[in-house]
Amino acid sequence: RDAPDDPELRTRALDAIRRCAELQARIVDDLLDVARAATGKLRVELQPVELAPVLTAAVQELRPAAASAGVHLLLQLEPLLPRIEADAHRLRQVISNLLSNAIKFTAAGGNVTLSVQRRRANVIITVRDTGRGIKAELLPHLFEPFSQDESSSGEGMGLGLAIARQLVELHGGTIRAQSDGPRTGASFVVSLPVPGRTGAETTDVPSAPPKLAGLRVLLVDDHREMLDALAHLLRAAGATVECVESAAAAWQTIATKPPDVLVTDLAMPVEDGYALLRRIRSEGPSHARALPAVALSAHTTTAERTRSLAAGFDAHVGKPVDLERLLDTLAKLGRRRIA
C-alpha cells in the first residue's frame, strides 16, 4: 500500500491479470467445446478458404506468447497453395491450439515452426517444435480430453489437443503427433483434403484466378509473416508485388518503382499507414499523388472504415484478410488506374 508508484511494476501486474483472464476464458471456451463434441453439437461451417491468411493470423495471435517465453515462432508457406473447404474460425482455433501447446513445451531459445505444403489430394499443416519431446507411451493418449504430460506446468486442462482432433475430423481430415522421445522435440501433423481432387492428380492449380495480371502492387506491413503471406496470394493472382516493412521504405519505393496500387497496414511503428498516405498525397511525386490505396487493419468497425476512407484510402480491408474481396478491390482499382 505504501510502495512507490512504479509504472513498470504496474504494467507487469496488469499483464499478469490479463494473462490470467485470457487463460480462464480459454478454459471456459474449451469446456464448452468438449461438451458440444460429447453431445454431437460441435459444428463447422465449410466454405472455400485461403490457407495463408488463416495461418498468418494464428501466428500473429501467438507471437506475444512466444516472445514472452523467449521462443522463436516461424511460418513457412509453400507457393501456390490450393483453396480448401474449411471453417476459417475453427481452423484458426486448431492451429492456435497446436502453436500454444508447442510454445508451452519449448524452452527459451527454441523454435516453433508452422509449415504447410501440398501433397497430392491433401494439404499438410505441420507444427514442429524443438521442445522437450514426448514419451512413446504418451503418444496414443495425447488427443484424449484432460490428458496432460506429467511434466506439464499445469496451465490449462489438457483440452486443446482433444478439441483440435474433433475439429480436424469434422473437416474430413486427420491429425497425428510424432516425437522420437524426450528432448527431441515434437511435431503435430494435420492433413486436410483438397476438394474435387484425387490422389492420382498431381497438377497444381493456382489458389486464385489471375485477376491481377500485370498489376503492380506495393505491399506495406511491418509483420514479415503477413507480408509474405499476402505477397504469395497476390502473386498467385498474377500481380507483380513489391514488399516493404515500413512507411519510410514505401516512400522510397514509390519514387523509384511506381506501383499501380498501394496496400498498406494502418498500425505500423514510427510512421503509420495514415501518415504515409498523407505524405504521398501532399508531397509525393506527381505520378503518385492520386495513387489508389487500400488500408489493411484488424479494426473493422464502421467507425474505423469511415476514418480510413475519410483519410483518402479507396478501400478498407479487414484482417484476417478476405482474399476474394481484396482481389476484387485491387482489380477494380487497377482498372481505374490504367484508365
For residue 202, how far is the Cα from the chain centroid?
27
CATH of the domain at 97: 3.30.565.10
- Name the residue range of residue 170's domain: 45-193
**pLDDT value of position 18:** 59
User: What percent of the chain is modeled with pLDDT above 70?
Assistant: 79
Asked if pLDDT for residue 225 goes beyond 80, the answer is no
pLDDT at 241 exceeding the cut of 50:
yes
pLDDT classification of 154: cutoffs 50, 70, 90: very low
Distance CA 138, CA 101 (A): 15
5 within some domain = no
Mean pLDDT of the chain: 83
Highest mean pLDDT among 121-130, 132-141, 149-158: 121-130
One-letter amino acid at 157 equals: M
Residues 186 and 226 in one domain: no
Neighbour-count burial of 222, counting CB atoms closer than 10 A to its CB (0-12 exposed, 13-18 middle, 19+ buried): middle
Domain with 317 in it: what CATH number?
Answer: 3.40.50.2300
Residues 71 and 178 in one domain: yes
pLDDT, position 156: 43
Domain contains 325: yes
Local confidence band at 320 (pLDDT 50, 70, 90 cut-offs) = confident
Mean pLDDT (whole number) for 218-236:
86
To 10 degrees, the CA torsion angle through 13, 15, 20, 22? 160
Give a yes or no: residue 182 inside a domain.
yes
| One-character DSSP codes across 198-243 | -TT------SS--TTTT-EEEEE-S-HHHHHHHHHHHHHTT-EEEE
- Higher local confidence (pLDDT), 7 or 59: 59
Among the ranges given (34-43, 129-138, 294-303), the one the predictor scored with the smallest mean pLDDT? 34-43
Structural domain count, the chain = 2
Single residue among 145, 178, 193 that ends a domain in this structure: 193
* Residue 190 pLDDT greater than 90, yes or no: yes
Please check whether residue 112 lies inside any domain of the structure: yes
pLDDT at res. 84: 94
The answer to whether residues 165 and 220 belong to one domain is no
If asked whether residues 162 and 226 sit together in one domain, one would say no
The answer to whether residue 89 sits within a structural domain is: yes
Q: Are residues 49 and 182 in the same domain?
A: yes
What are the pLDDT digits (tens) for 40-93? 667 888 999 888 888 888 888 888 889 999 999 998 887 778 889 999 989 998
pTM of the model: 0.61
Specify the pLDDT at position 52.
Answer: 86
Q: Is the dihedral of CA 297, 300, 304, 306 positive or negative?
A: positive
**Residue 203 counted as domain residue:** no
Q: Please check whether residues 189 and 239 belong to one and the same domain.
A: no
Instruction: Judge whether residue 126 has pLDDT over 80.
Output: yes
